[in-house]
Amino acid sequence: MPPSRKVRSKTARAAGAPRAPKPPAKRAADRLAQAGKVNAALKQSYPDAACSLDYAGPLQLLVATILSAQCTDARVNKVTPGLFARYPDAQAFAAADPKELEAAVQSTGFYRNKARAIREACGDIVAKHGGQVPSTLEALTALRGVGRKTANVVLGNAFGTPGVVVDTHVGRLSNRLGLTKNKDPVKVEHDLMKLLPPQDWVAFGHRMIAHGRAFCKAPTPRCTGCPLDPVCHYPKRVYEDGVNCHRSEK
Ligand code: SF4
């Protein structure tokens, strides 16, 4: 009786036979090629995608981005004109009465946390940066209440410094489109940075967000008419005619 596969493998290794080579280079090359296709399709479909928050300058974008967590940009844009008129600079936000600031941002949800984040970030901006929003990832993420996603939004849009923004849309779509297997936003960000040219990082984020809102929704994508369908291999694609992912072998 021939030895089992397990026994054969153990015997072979014991004899010094090399393990079967892993093919990381091929997988990396495949993923790079896939990123190129996705990036090109997004450029064609959403050529003008841009930040949909209304702002003038880094501070207003920082505040608007903090408010946009778990809230639509349209809702934030309704709140910010009055907010920015009432609190024109970092000093004003830092010195804001907590209850008054909470009331001003209440309609964006999670208002206590958001008001505190704005006050604390602006307090740090005043105390450590002379009232001016810093322009590096390290300094921005060192501000209380400012995470990596918010920092990258500010860097990319207000300072013109390339950064990959990974919000829920970008994270979800990056997985569905085969650009990463990671769920952690920071890991997804690093994966995307390896796959995309820096000059495309900011626009890529805007385009992915636009596509996530238009077609590739959570929890179920609407794949009928999706412009990225030709480059998508997501096994749970859903079409209006009830035909699911098995409709095509790409
Ligand atoms: S085909 Fe479906 S799953 Fe793939 S990108 Fe389009 S909407 Fe998303």
Cβ–Cβ < 8 Å for 165, 156: yes
- Whether 64 and 97 map to the same domain: the answer is yes
Q: Domain tally for the chain?
A: 2
The tokens describing 246, both together, are 């098995």
pLDDT tens by residue, 124-146: 999 999 999 999 999 999 999 99
Residue 250 is among the residues annotated as catalytic for this protein? no
What pLDDT band is residue 250 in, cutting at 50, 70 and 90? low
pLDDT tens by residue, 51-102: 999 999 999 999 999 999 999 999 999 999 999 999 999 999 999 999 999 9
For residues 150 and 44, give the distance between their C-alpha atoms in angstroms, rounded to a whole number.
Answer: 27
- Which DSSP string corresponds to 31-64? HHHHHHHHHHHHHHH-TT----S--SSHHHHHHH
Would 215 be classed as within a structural domain? yes
- Whether 240 and 189 map to the same domain: the answer is yes
Rg (CA), the chain: 23
- Whether 207 and 127 map to the same domain: the answer is no
Is 41 a pocket residue for ligand 1 (Cβ < 6 Å)?
no
- Whether 68 and 148 map to the same domain: the answer is yes
Q: How far is the CA of 169 from the centre of ligand 1 (A)?
A: 12
pLDDT of residue 6: 44
Q: How far is the CA of 214 from the centre of ligand 1 (A)?
A: 10
pLDDT tens by residue, 227-243: 999 999 999 999 987 66
pTM: 0.84
Q: What is the CATH number of the domain that holds 100?
A: 1.10.340.30
pLDDT tens by residue, 183-223: 999 999 999 999 999 999 999 999 999 999 999 999 999 99
- Whether 97 and 117 map to the same domain: the answer is yes
Spatial CA neighbour of 46 closest among 173, 194, 155: 173
DSSP category for residue 108: G
Q: How far is the CA of 236 from the centre of ligand 1 (A)?
A: 9
Would 163 be classed as within a structural domain? no
Q: Quote the mean pLDDT of the chain.
A: 91
- Whether 121 and 152 map to the same domain: the answer is yes
Q: What is the CATH number of the domain that holds 190?
A: 1.10.1670.10
For residues 26 and 169, give the distance between their C-alpha atoms in angstroms, rounded to a whole number.
Answer: 27
Residue 167 is among the residues annotated as catalytic for this protein? yes
Give the residue numbers spanning the domain of 202.
168-247
- Whether 216 and 145 map to the same domain: the answer is no
Which residues is 238 bridged to in the sheet? 244
CB contact set of 74 (below 8 Å; sequence gap of 6+): 52
